[in-house]
């Protein structure tokens, strides 16, 4: 058990329903969970167990039906869409299974994207983007378009984009699912390094057993409930 | 994000989404060019109608000229006998008006009616006594850049024959009259008696109006005066060097008449007040243009929306990603609107070039247009610059591309971020 750190995010008795016609699906059922600064947590669970739903709620791109989500000490329950957007911009980094880079933008421009919407000078933006691309080892590819990059390289760009705003929390939904196992483990190594160097809290949803091995917390969920919580 | 960053971002998107941009740009540009060319054609048509009204007229009663001068009484009261309110000092007035800068010439006209007979058959007529040479000049002077010639050969023929007369085509047929035949012209004199003179057929005229061709005839002014036993004329017509001078010359005519003929009250009318037919046709064209304009706007908006929507479906994931990483929907809206707006501007620029090229081709290919309604003269198709309409059309096009990005955005907004980022 490691030392009690600073709380970055918390799910408090969170329930999320989906409605499919007449049927109501309980995607998350009374989840309570705390993420602390520097955590490297993996959410594991079978398909449909609610991993993605949990990430979407923590990432403030969806709202729970019950319970509350606290990010950096602030309860997001009553916050306006504007405020949630601001939270996403400044406090959270997203990494997707399908990389989700903007195809018409170069690696540099993709990473730069979140900074364009912040009050930041040209020079500062450039420095930060260079730094982020350097961290993911793609300094020499910044003029490349996503279509000219391998899957692993695209995911690195996505990681740089998530890092560039210096968020406290990075959420990654199956970041290795579209990569071969070697590239996948390189991506996980990269995330681990980022986690250790920057003390960024990282939460990864995955099926991949290799990823589980690297985590310091593993949350197993099934049918929208946490059925096992392991701290290593 | 500051405006310049936003502009750079939108420009970059437009340049890099080349296929989509090319499609929307061509739609906007062709819409602009189409409307500008239609406007140019209508401008040309208005000009053509205006000149036709002034030079030729539509009722057989001759062109209106630019300015007509009557006795004020002639407009306000009923005459108790022909030419009661005619103008007697017409020669002096004509000379006076001709001293004005911008006036090409002035000429008298007499309107009268009566019967014309070949000895066996008599027909009633409406006639006009004219200065044949000047009337011919009015016709030949027609639209310097219209490349359209009005036929004035009949008027030249009339000049050469004393006692000459030009008959409406159908009237000539009905009287079985040929060039050189002698006919008898009967009319009421100013004293109320009936008088007759012999006239010689100098030719026929076609007014373009079937009914007018059956009752209309032209004589020398001297013959009209002789049969009516008067030295007056009905009105004086001033022809200017350019139609645009009309509003400037009218007050000058008024000054000269007040100065030289203070005892006489005149009415002075510009051609626009004399041309009812012209206004009716212009209104009709305006309605047609508005309708065509509306159709073009709908087409541009729909095709731009369609293209943008198609590409937006490709971009849903992109937009979802932007929203997920913290780009506010306000910015997404701004980016969309700006892209639509810039497309509109680009469309207008390309459309302007396109319009100039197409107009130049049309104007140099000597396309002959069929005669306007009721007319028998064809003319060369021309596209005018229509400068007045261009800013208006530009606004319309830019609004419709911007509108189509708004419509697209509304569709995108309905999709939640979660749906959008997992969109395939
Ligand atoms: N938009 C939606 N509409 C209806 N039901 C949904 C929706 N999204 C998710 N669900 C349901 O909610 C439950 C949890 O889904 P979720 O995507 O969170 O699972 P997951 O653990 O991420 O699965 P996977 O490993 O396949 O990605 C599932 O039963 C799923 O069918
Ligand atoms: Mg999932």
Question: pLDDT for B89-108, tens place per residue?
Answer: 899 999 999 999 999 999 99
- Residue A40 in contact with residue A215, Cβ under 8 Å? yes
CB contact under 8 A, B1 and A117: yes
Residues whose beta carbon lies within 6 Å of some atom of ligand 1? A 18, 20, 25, 27, 45, 47-53
**Is the predicted pLDDT of residue B389 greater than 90, yes or no?**
no
Contacts of A104 (CB under 8 A, 6+ apart): A145, B12, B13, B16, B17
Number of residues that this document lists for chain A: 232
Q: How far apart, in whole angstroms, are the C-alpha atoms of residue B50 and residue B53? A: 5
The token pair that represents B417 in the structure block:
């971020």
What's the pLDDT tens digit per position in B318-348? 889 999 999 998 888 998 899 999 999 999 9
Which of B271, B290, B320 is the endpoint of a domain? B271
Is B104 a domain residue? Answer: yes
Q: Please tell me whether residues B32 and B89 are part of one structural domain.
A: no
Q: Please tell me whether residues B111 and B235 are part of one structural domain.
A: yes
Which of B237, B271, B305 is the endpoint of a domain? B271
B115, burial (CB in 10 Å: exposed 0-12, middle 13-18, buried 19+): middle
In chain B, the number of structural domains is 2
Is B59 a domain residue? Answer: no
Q: Please tell me whether residues B143 and B264 are part of one structural domain.
A: yes
Is B405 a domain residue? Answer: yes
CB contact under 8 A, B327 and A105: no
Which residues of chain A have a Cβ shorter than 8 Å from any chain B Cβ?
Answer: 52, 56, 59, 61-62, 81-82, 85-90, 92-94, 96, 98, 100, 102-105, 109, 113-114, 116-117, 161-162, 165
Query: Is B322 an interface residue toward A (CB < 8 Å)?
Result: yes
| Residue, of B199 and B43, whose pLDDT is higher | B199
Nearest CB to A88 within list B5, B317, B326: B326
The token pair that represents A72 in the structure block:
């950096």
Contacts of B364 (CB under 8 A, 6+ apart): none
| pTM (predicted TM-score) | 0.79
Residue A3: strand, helix, or coil: coil
**Is the predicted pLDDT of residue B146 greater than 80, yes or no?**
no
pLDDT at A37: 92
- Residue B190 in contact with residue B82, Cβ under 8 Å? yes
**Is the predicted pLDDT of residue B151 greater than 70, yes or no?**
yes
Q: Please tell me whether residues B190 and B153 are part of one structural domain.
A: yes
Is B310 a domain residue? Answer: yes
Q: How far apart, in whole angstroms, are the C-alpha atoms of residue B347 and residue B343? A: 6
CB contact under 8 A, A116 and B318: no
Q: Please tell me whether residues B25 and B100 are part of one structural domain.
A: no
What's the pLDDT tens digit per position in B216-229? 999 999 999 999 99
Q: How far apart, in whole angstroms, are the C-alpha atoms of residue A135 and residue A131? A: 6
Task: Provide the ipTM.
Answer: 0.92
Contacts A17 to B, Cβ<8 Å: none
Q: How far apart, in whole angstroms, are the C-alpha atoms of residue B224 and residue B166? A: 13
Instruction: Identify the closest residue of chain B to A101 by CA–CA distance.
Output: B318
Name the helix (H) or strand (E) containing B199. strand B194-205
Would you tell me how many other CB atoms lie within 10 Å of the CB of residue B208?
Answer: 20
- Residue B386 in contact with residue B43, Cβ under 8 Å? yes
Q: How far apart, in whole angstroms, are the C-alpha atoms of residue A212 and residue A54? A: 17
Contacts A50 to B, Cβ<8 Å: none
Would you tell me how many other CB atoms lie within 10 Å of the CB of residue A152?
Answer: 18
Nearest CA to ligand 1 atom 17: A52
Q: Please tell me whether residues B115 and B21 are part of one structural domain.
A: no
Domain that holds residue B245: 65-271
Is B198 a domain residue? Answer: yes
Q: Please tell me whether residues B251 and B358 are part of one structural domain.
A: no
B259 C-alpha vs ligand 2 centroid, how far in Å? Answer: 97
Contacts A98 to B, Cβ<8 Å: 317
A106 C-alpha vs ligand 2 centroid, how far in Å? Answer: 28
What radius of gyration, in Å, describes the C-alpha atoms of chain A? 17
- Residue A181 in contact with residue A195, Cβ under 8 Å? no
Contacts A59 to B, Cβ<8 Å: 324
Which of B219, B238, B271 is the endpoint of a domain? B271
Q: Please tell me whether residues B234 and B310 are part of one structural domain.
A: no
What's the pLDDT tens digit per position in A190-223? 999 999 998 899 999 998 888 888 898 999 999 9
Q: Please tell me whether residues B376 and B253 are part of one structural domain.
A: no
Is B414 a domain residue? Answer: yes
Q: Please tell me whether residues B329 and B294 are part of one structural domain.
A: yes
Query: E strands along chain A, which residues?
Result: 7-20, 23-36, 40-44, 66-71, 74-75, 92-95, 169-173, 201-205, 217-222, 225-231
Q: Please tell me whether residues B77 and B148 are part of one structural domain.
A: yes
Q: Please tell me whether residues B114 and B235 are part of one structural domain.
A: yes
**Is the predicted pLDDT of residue B145 greater than 80, yes or no?**
no
The residue-averaged pLDDT of A29-46 equals 94
Is B58 a domain residue? Answer: no
Query: E strands along B95-177, which residues?
Result: 103-117, 122-130, 164-168
Is B172 a domain residue? Answer: yes
């Amino acid at each position: 058990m490691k030392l009690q750190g600073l709380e970055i995010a918390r799910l408090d008795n969170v329930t999320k329903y989906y409605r499919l016609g007449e049927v109501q699906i309980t995607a998350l059922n009374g989840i309570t969970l705390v993420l602390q600064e520097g955590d490297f947590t993996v959410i594991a669970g079978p398909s449909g167990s609610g991993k993605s739903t949990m990430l979407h709620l923590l990432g403030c791109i969806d709202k729970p039906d019950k319970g509350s989500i606290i990010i950096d000490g602030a309860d997001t329950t009553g916050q306006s869409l504007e405020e949630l957007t601001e939270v996403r911009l400044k406090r959270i980094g997203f990494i997707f299974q399908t990389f989700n880079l903007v195809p018409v933008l170069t690696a540099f421009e993709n990473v730069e994207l979140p900074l364009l919407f912040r009050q930041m000078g040209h020079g500062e933006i450039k420095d930060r983007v260079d730094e982020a691309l350097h961290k993911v080892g793609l300094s020499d590819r910044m003029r490349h378009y996503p279509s000219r990059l391998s899957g692993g390289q695209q995911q690195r760009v996505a990681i740089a984009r998530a890092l560039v705003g210096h968020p406290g929390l990075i959420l990654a939904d199956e970041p290795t699912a579209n990569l071969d196992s070697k590239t996948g483990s390189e991506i996980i190594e990269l995330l681990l390094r980022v986690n250790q160097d920057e003390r960024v809290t990282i939460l990864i949803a995955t099926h991949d057993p290799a990823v589980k091995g690297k985590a310091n917390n593993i949350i197993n969920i099934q049918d929208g409930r946490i059925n096992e919580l392991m701290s290593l | 994000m500051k405006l310049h960053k936003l502009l750079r971002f939108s420009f970059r998107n437009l340049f890099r989404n080349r296929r989509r941009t090319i499609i929307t740009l061509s739609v906007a540009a062709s819409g602009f060019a189409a409307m500008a060319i239609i406007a140019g054609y209508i401008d040309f048509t208005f000009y053509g109608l205006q000149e036709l009204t002034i030079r030729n007229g539509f009722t057989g009663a001759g062109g209106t000229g630019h300015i007509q001068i009557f006795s004020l009484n002639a407009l306000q009261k009923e005459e108790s006998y022909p030419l009661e309110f005619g103008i007697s000092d017409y020669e002096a007035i004509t000379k006076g008006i001709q001293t004005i800068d911008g006036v090409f010439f002035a000429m008298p006209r007499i309107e009268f009616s009566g019967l014309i007979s070949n000895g066996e058959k008599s027909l009633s007529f409406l006639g006009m006594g004219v200065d044949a040479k000047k009337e011919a000049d009015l016709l030949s002077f027609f639209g310097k850049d219209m490349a359209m010639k009005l036929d004035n050969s009949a008027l030249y023929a009339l000049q050469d024959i004393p006692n000459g007369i030009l008959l409406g085509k159908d009237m000539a047929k009905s009287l079985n009259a040929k060039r050189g035949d002698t006919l008898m012209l009967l009319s009421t004199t100013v004293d109320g008696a009936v008088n007759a003179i012999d006239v010689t057929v100098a030719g026929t005229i076609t007014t373009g109006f079937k009914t007018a061709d059956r009752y209309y005839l032209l004589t020398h002014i001297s013959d009209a005066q002789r049969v009516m036993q008067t030295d007056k004329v009905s009105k004086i017509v001033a022809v200017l060097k350019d139609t645009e001078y009309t509003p400037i010359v009218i007050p000058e005519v008024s000054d000269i008449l007040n100065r030289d003929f203070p005892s006489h009250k005149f009415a002075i009318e510009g051609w626009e007040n004399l041309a009812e037919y012209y206004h009716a046709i212009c209104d009709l064209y305006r309605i047609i243009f508005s309708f065509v304009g509306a159709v073009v706007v709908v087409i541009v908006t729909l095709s731009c929306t369609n293209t943008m929507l198609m590409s937006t479906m490709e971009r849903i994931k992109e937009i979802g990603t932007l929203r997920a990483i913290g780009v506010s929907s306000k910015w997404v809206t701004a980016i969309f609107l700006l892209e639509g707006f810039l497309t509109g501007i680009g469309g207008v620029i390309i459309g302007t070039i396109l319009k100039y090229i197409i107009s130049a081709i049309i104007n140099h290919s000597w396309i002959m247009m069929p005669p306007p309604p009721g007319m028998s003269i064809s003319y060369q198709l021309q596209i005018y610059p229509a400068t007045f309409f261009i800013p208006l059309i530009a606004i319309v096009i830019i609004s419709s591309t911007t509108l189509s990005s708004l419509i697209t955005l509304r569709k995108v907004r309905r999709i939640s971020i979660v749906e959008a980022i997992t969109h395939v």
